[in-house]
Amino acid sequence: MFIINMKPYKQGVILLICSIPLLIFTNPAFLYRFFECIKAVSNGSEYVYYEIIAKQSENIFAKLNSTSYLSHESNMQFRLFLPLLCKFSPFQSKTLFVNLIQLPLGVVFFTLLYSVFYKILNDKTLTFWMMVGTMGLYLGTACYVDYFGFGDFFAYLFLLISIRYPNILLKLISLLLAYYCDERALFGSIFVLLYFVIVENNKLFFSRNSTIVAISWLFYLISRLYLQDIFQLNHSFANEVLPQMGKVFYQMAKIWSFRFWSAFEGFNVLILLGYVFLLKEKKYWHFSLLILGTLFSLLFAMIALDLTRGITYYFVCLPIAIHVVKNHLSLQELKIVIFLLTLICLIHPTLSKFTIYNNISLM
């Protein structure tokens, strides 16, 4: 196929274009919500959470009025990247500005992800099929699916940059920007650390990369506590957070396998194979780290709502799994496995919070 030999950025453009009709077919609610967004912009208003982002962009450290942990507004208090970005908007509409930026950056994301996969697989055909499979996930469509103002795509991009480039300062800045897009990126960085340990064979402690990740955690914690103290941004509903977390966990536990599958779909099998082969290699240390990271991340995702979006923050486990699996399968076996798993990713609907009519959820 001629597309396999194309440059990565050209593949990214084609895959993004092809993913749109695929998404409409498997999740028609996307199209319905898209027209809602267009209508809001044409009427001069902001769409969904961009109203809050516009408010924050005027005063970055304004305290958001919310009385519930379950309110998305309450969780946006420290998601400062998009409000800061919108300060530079040449348009009155923040919705339009951010979405126009996300689209070309989607090509950048695909190009960087291609290079990460190819570095491990060293095969254009295998890398291409991994990219096609990614096209069928929320991970691969967030650059245009997220027109609600969640900011997921930017966090995914910054996490990817942190494993793609060796520059220490760039890693640190990328990780911090990801955390301030969404605090779930903080837990996603666990897999960034595991990538350095398992794929790049770094030490868990005191290696250059692991130290950078630890510094980013420390810096984020200190800076967040400082902002809380200086601008009095502490949540006013602290007494009810834990009970509501328990309620959310109970609701998510009812459908955890369904929602857990929805993040990586067919590629979950690849991740499971990675666990199995680590045991086969008797790399119990790596296996334990990966299992603990997965369980901890799943637990946090289940108490933070939006399970599909939340688990996608741990997408760095995909190149980790590929690195492990490729050492145990022949090239032909690996091609068959990845091809079949890619088909599953394309067939399975990309789940989201979209509703079609009268709040009837597609989930």
Question: CA-to-CA distance for 44 and 35, rounded, in angstroms?
Answer: 14
Question: CA-to-CA distance for 3 and 11, rounded, in angstroms?
Answer: 7
What is the predicted pLDDT for the residue at 70? 57
What is the predicted pLDDT for the residue at 299? 75
Count CB atoms within 10 A of the CB of residue 269: 16
Question: CA-to-CA distance for 290 and 244, rounded, in angstroms?
Answer: 29
The torsion of the CA quartet 125, 131, 133, 138, rounded to 10 degrees, works out to 180
Global pTM reads 0.90
CA angle 206, 207, 209 (to 5 degrees): 120
Bridge partners (DSSP) of residue 361 are: 355
218-233 tens-digit pLDDT:
999 999 988 888 877 7
Count CB atoms within 10 A of the CB of residue 291: 12
Average pLDDT of the segment spanning 170-197: 94
What is the predicted pLDDT for the residue at 65? 65
Label residue 1 by pLDDT band (50, 70, 90): low
- In terms of Cβ atoms closer than 10 Å to its own Cβ (0-12, 13-18, 19+), residue 267 is buried
The least confident of 145-159, 247-261, 317-331 is: 247-261
Q: Domain-by-domain residue ranges, the chain?
A: 13-347
Cβ atoms 181, 156 nearer than 8 A: no
What is the predicted pLDDT for the residue at 135? 87
50-83 tens-digit pLDDT:
888 888 888 887 777 665 555 667 778 888 999 9
Question: CA-to-CA distance for 174 and 168, rounded, in angstroms?
Answer: 10
What is the predicted pLDDT for the residue at 170? 96
Has residue 147 got a pLDDT over 90?
A: no
Question: CA-to-CA distance for 229 and 352, rounded, in angstroms?
Answer: 35
102-130 tens-digit pLDDT:
989 999 999 999 999 999 999 999 999 99
